[in-house]
Structure 1
């Protein structure tokens, strides 16, 4: 149920952004606003508290975001606060992003390495993923020393894992089966 509600609100915002030719800008601002709420959980609590009047919540939103974000996005935040849906903002942001990526032919690729990748290697991976997916690629990188080496790449619902950690686990499993 919450997923359906989130998608409807997100798609409504997306349609307005599309009419105004601001889809990319609103995505960026929406992600930033969602991060503000993640970094300041008390702000979300205030907006979700039923005993606080909507006028006070509206003033809070105006004070925090007024003049800093697009007026359409500010109005959207006020609407979902008034409708008591502000808690679904992260899901709405994700639904908006998925719609934007779909319409723009963008694919999100997540790459995890044991050490930071050089700019050259990052560009090579991005180019390779563009040719594999046939889409524009947004590459998100993450460092996780526990994988020891290699790379784990996630594209859509697929994962390519060439990490040393996984290879060692596979080797250990093969040895266990050979001995048993």
Structure 2
């Protein structure tokens, strides 16, 4: 969940993009920039460094993203750098994405299984989730062998956990209460 300040910056960018009919374009570009920041966190540290002049930071942003990012997004990056809010860039990108998803009836679901899901099971799960949520579903699959079996579904702020690991923990808890 984004802080209020980061949420407001993201909403401002989203509204400007909507006014210019560039919401999807900026969504995609913002995601690429956020991924690049995740892969090169030193770039973000440089933009936050008080020892580096603002003009130098803006030049780096211009050199890195001019012609690759929409001018609205580039100006946004320069603004949050100038206002010393660039540290919240990843939260802002996530908040922007959430605004897009809400407006377009999309929900992101994370499904964690002990082994990779095959395509048939993936399609069944997406169909079931569409029916339950009445939204378009973007399914992110994760594999975590520690859950032993079953599935853990994170749907917004809700979580459905039918993993063997959780079932065993619940059984252990019940046995402990009976014995104690």
TM-score bin (small chain): over 0.9
Q: Deviations over 1:63-86 (max 9, x none)?
A: 222222222211111111111111
Which residue matches 1:101? 101
Which residue matches 1:9? 9
What secondary structure sits across from 1:88 in the alignment? helix
What secondary structure sits across from 1:56 in the alignment? helix
- Answer yes or no: is 1:47 the counterpart of 2:47: yes
TM-score normalised by structure 1 residue count: 0.93
TM-score normalised by structure 2 residue count: 0.93
Give the Cα separation in 2 of the matches to 1:177 and 1:82.
58
Which residue matches 2:137? 137
- Answer yes or no: is 1:162 the counterpart of 2:162: yes
Give the Cα separation in 2 of the matches to 1:58 and 1:82.
8
Give the Cα separation in 2 of the matches to 1:127 and 1:96.
26
Structure 1 stretch 62-71 or stretch 38-47: which is displaced more?
62-71
Which residue matches 1:172? 172
